[in-house]
Structure 1
């Protein structure tokens, strides 16, 4: 093996391909073309002297040699990032910080509430929020770019060396704009959605698998017109301008539903319920900033789960009779 030929991009490319198990998706995540990714992997195979990828119809598989190399590449990349972070942050080494990856169902509601509570208690804390697909955030977590991920649990194949703590579970909902032709109907069959465009999660994500499985279990063919996105702002903008139906995580839309900015369709989606929680690296303790954020998240959830304090009923005062008032006055005298 010729280490002199090894570049950082070779390791970054291999780790992303291992995470996505698909050259096209890996190229998109790296902001490269698919031929560029294939060329980089081929260069690495030549450097190592071993085949690293097995091409399949629906993606790629890692060879045993690649599995070993990926584990060490992840550790090496994480070590480099931590080293650069320490070097660059020397003037501010005493300042506590945290980097969190947030899926759309968290970025819209729970995480802002937790960070607001956290800044009230620790105003000097630096917080960086990263967004992306579950797979992209898990890669950043492994590489040490972020400290934790808040959202739905990832696929089992993506959870190696990671730990998940469930906070609660939530279903996907079908949301539309107020005034949508289906919004006022008290009961709907899934077939009623067929004429309308459907906004769904990006292909290849776990949440998209949940949507596809739900539609398949209900005997519904894939929507004729669909838009794939994980961008909540884009989905909201599209719903405001069209009659599209959004298959969205409850956490991403519950605030908009409560404010009347969206309407929920009367279709039972309970079977789409999934675990939501914290994903962290198995090895090593979380930093002080991550610990404070986790405590804030749990605190927000405790407040939401606490029953509202019942208001004590105040009995109306009875008007006193003239004789009672006179007796009271005599006693006072």
Structure 2
């Protein structure tokens, strides 16, 4: 795949301007370059990407199908860069610079991201195969353009300034838009080609995501899927910075940030789980008996821990003292099978063990603890065709799963 950060941003802008204005002559005037230079810029981009983007006709310029896909991404990337530049100058209390995005190169932005991720020019140079001198020069040039200090030394590391941290979010979104554009071009010549990066939390990754991926990859054999696990704050941060395309799992109410949106797929409620031959599995259930057995629950402050505490509070009972705190399903599963331990989990998280006859539902935790499972995306996200296809597949899987949970096909169905 072509690295979008190795492209020439001015050349990309020329393609978009020619399509918008209808002629190369008009684009060259708008961008203050000669017509031969504008023509050569378009030729260079088409050669690099391997696609004809513009059809030259007597009446003017018409974008091809590939051009239409890419131009949308170019314009979104330029808009993001302009917004980022304005935020950067505003945070430094400096006056806005007109057309600042036309003076910045993608190479300079790549340098800023590389040093931020590496924590030093030396490590960034090693990873990028550029010399330290070249990276230092690129960083200084970017600082000269924006008029703001972007990188500062902190001990043995190099870190972005507060202003640069805000700017970096827009920089990464620029990269994500251009990557999406190139993905869409690749999708024109392959069966379901392109990439999708999925952040997943424990509930969705147990059953729903594998089922969705199984369907999706059959229909899109050339798709490249990256699945990232992590905590909600980390995944949300990656989503907002364009490093993930979609986040799957429990939705938040209220949303912690205004620039993402959520779509609920189905309701999920935790259940009390123990081994199949647990004493509570063979007697009439009494909530007070839950205090008589050891529990393993996630750490303080996590959604799982809060639901566990609310469950006991709703019955006017003090939660038992926790002997083990862990969010690892492997640890939880192993401990449940070793004794009379109990835990509070989504039904899907122990489905395989339930089908194998190893674990069982002791009782429901109550309808008040049910929560919505779904997807979170950036509010201004424009999915590629491949990404939109995955979202639709995930919707279908959630619908099928929600229907199946209400029947005997699900060993942990709600009472």
TM-score by length of 2: 0.53
Whether 1:209 aligns to 2:306 is: yes
TM-superposition CA deviations, 1:182-207 (whole Å, max 9, x none): 22223121x32223222223332334
Q: Is the 8 A contact 2:281 2:362 kept in 1?
A: yes
> In 1, Cα distance between the equivalents of 2:115 and 2:306?
30
> In 1, Cα distance between the equivalents of 2:293 and 2:232?
27
Q: Which has the higher helix share?
A: 2
* Distance change in 2, residues 1:91/1:286 (3 Å): closer
- Relative to structure 2, which stretch is displaced further, 109-118 or 296-305? 296-305
Q: Is the 8 A contact 2:186 2:194 kept in 1?
A: no
- What is the aligned partner in structure 2 of residue 194 from structure 1? 291
- What is the aligned partner in structure 2 of residue 59 from structure 1? none
Secondary structure at the residue paired with 2:392? helix
- What is the aligned partner in structure 1 of residue 275 from structure 2? 177
Whether 1:222 aligns to 2:329 is: no
> In 1, Cα distance between the equivalents of 2:202 and 2:168?
29
> Of 110, 113, 136, which residue of structure 1 is paired with 2:234?
136
TM-superposition CA deviations, 1:45-95 (whole Å, max 9, x none): 9x56xxxxxxxxxxxxxxxxx9xx86544323443566689999x999973
> In 2, Cα distance between the equivalents of 1:219 and 1:208?
17
Secondary structure at the residue paired with 1:243? coil
Gaps of 5+ in 2: 1-91, 93-111, 118-153, 405-415
- What is the aligned partner in structure 2 of residue 274 from structure 1? 371
Gaps of 5+ in 1: 2-6, 13-38, 49-65, 308-333
> Of 142, 146, 158, which residue of structure 1 is paired with 2:244?
146
* Distance change in 2, residues 1:288/1:237 (3 Å): farther
* Distance change in 2, residues 1:226/1:135 (3 Å): farther
> In 2, Cα distance between the equivalents of 1:276 and 1:177?
26
Q: Is the 8 A contact 2:273 2:362 kept in 1?
A: yes
Secondary structure at the residue paired with 1:165? strand
> In 2, Cα distance between the equivalents of 1:44 and 1:155?
33
TM-superposition CA deviations, 1:114-133 (whole Å, max 9, x none): 11111121122111111112
- What is the aligned partner in structure 2 of residue 238 from structure 1? 335
Secondary structure at the residue paired with 1:215? helix
Q: Is the 8 A contact 1:138 1:158 kept in 2?
A: no
Q: Is the 8 A contact 2:304 2:344 kept in 1?
A: no
